Structure 1
Amino acid sequence: MAWQNLSFLTDAHSAEPLCDALMEQGALSASIEDADADTPDEQPQFGEPGSPTTPGWQRSRVLALCDADADVVQFLRQACAQLNLPQITEFTVSPVEEQNWVHMTQAQFEPIRISERLWIVPSWHDSPDPKAINLVLDPGMAFGTGSHPTTRLCLEWLEKTITPGCSLFDYGCGSGILAIAASKLGASEVCGLDIDPQAVEAARNNARQNDVIADFSHNSPPDHQKFDVVVANILSNPLRVLAPAICALVRPAGGQLALSGILREQAEEIIAVYAPWITLKVADVCEDWVCLSGRKI
């Protein structure tokens, strides 16, 4: 046995303080999950910056990883005492054996078919269809591996929209997957912006891996530079704040814009925010997410 895993139920108010207290007692890590995950009572958490929410799950499961020789029962007792909480008497302690974590992580990512001609393929996999347009990616810390509905929505929109020789700007590029896809679909100039240095580095690495020339940066392009296609797959609150900056990148008289990272119930508000610059409509829906698109007049 390499480690021990402590698991118990608590409420949303106590879960995070208990995680902190367990870490102070000596736990190697502590996390919170929805105790009702994968059941009809599951509670999705869609909070984002600037959006007031009540975070956490009323039935929360705390998981704490501890050394093999740690007294995890004493850890839990002391954590409850430190927080003046009633002692938790129902819990489980299970062994965690040493494993090939790299292999386990890689096993979670299989090739993803986006369309008849577009695939996302982890670098350690052979492509199921070598003749297809294959986006080779290493899932890392940057957002965008193709598994999320918003990424799929944007890729499907790009496949319908990109024309040979057009230019594209990816606002909030993450892993660079959308810009890389645009290049492989025929765009001649692709650029991307992200405020996260790790995302920019990941996007540059992924572009090299795909033999794509792309300009990924922390900085916005010059004011005079406009693009035939602009895509932004971020979250609704940043999309609201950044509306003037994003729309300014779209070429007048025909430039196209697609936005995602938007929940179905947020769509009408985002459409209204962008109305002074571009008339948007719902282009597609996947699960609870939408992709909005429009053309600049």
Structure 2
Amino acid sequence: MPLTTDAKGVFPIAPTPFFDDGSIDVSSIDRMMDFYLGCGSTGVTVLGQLGEASKLEHAESIDVAARVIARAGNLPVVVGVSAPGFAAMRALTQDVMAKGAAGVMIAPPNTLRTDDQIVTYYRQAVEAIGPDVPFVLQDYPLTFSVQMTPSVIRRIVQDLPSCVMLKHEDWPGLEKISALRAFEQDGSMRHISILCGNNGLFLDYEMERGADGANTGYCFPDMLCDVVRLTEEGKREEAHDLFDAHLPLLRYEQQPGVGLAVRKYVLMRRGILSSAAQRKPAAAMSAQARQEVDHLLGRLGRRDRRAAGLVG
């Protein structure tokens, strides 16, 4: 089924599992997808920024996406197709949609500076991939250096019906969510799904501002599912208590450069990945960093049993 504006819940950003020699670990893909299905995920995104997509050949990207889609059951799978040029974006989009992807995610190139440049880029991207392909607009200025105001997002949403979701990763960004939902209420923008990334650092209050859930790769996506569920059930303090217990590890994992290594290390400790390996070029965790993560896991285990017994 194609991705729609009604999407909500948690779409984990899947890492790409590798063996130590850099080859793709398909057994870990299967195990990871089974875990996502079992913990309450409502979708999944593959080949995102921290899925090491830029390190894959085109054929490998298709193989990884196809494996995820085949294992996803009824979960919609979004595939990151961001590329320096539209030819590569179009080719990857056509191939993954043919495999059964629900939609694609497009991040802006860091060369865009003006509002008109941003809007024009997305118009041209839709021309390249086709107006029938649902797409996720990724707004992550901390990484891409592209500033999208609420008004620019509204222009994209209104001009391009195939834009069905915003991956919101601005920081600070709570007021942006409120502004977008206010546009919907006054009728100046149609409704779209808003799922939040940035490792979920502000998910507790983002949900209260009107976000529909999370679209990020934190190493405890089951916690994200619980926070979304508790919020929807009106159990505000319970949701905040659980979120607060994870916040130190969330913060540590969000560090630029080392974040993916931390994420893969914890997923390996949880038995989801066979190896914490990244494909080169990559920076490995230092022994001191592993000790710090183990310390965080030990402290988290006192408040969330899912982290108990994971210390290496």
State if a TM-score over 0.5 links the two structures. no
Higher relative strand content? 1
Question: What TM-score do you get using the length of structure 2 for normalisation?
Answer: 0.28
TM-score computed with the length of structure 1 as normaliser: 0.29
Write 1 or 2 for the structure with the bigger share of helix: 2
Relative contact order, higher structure (CA 8 A, sep 6+): 2
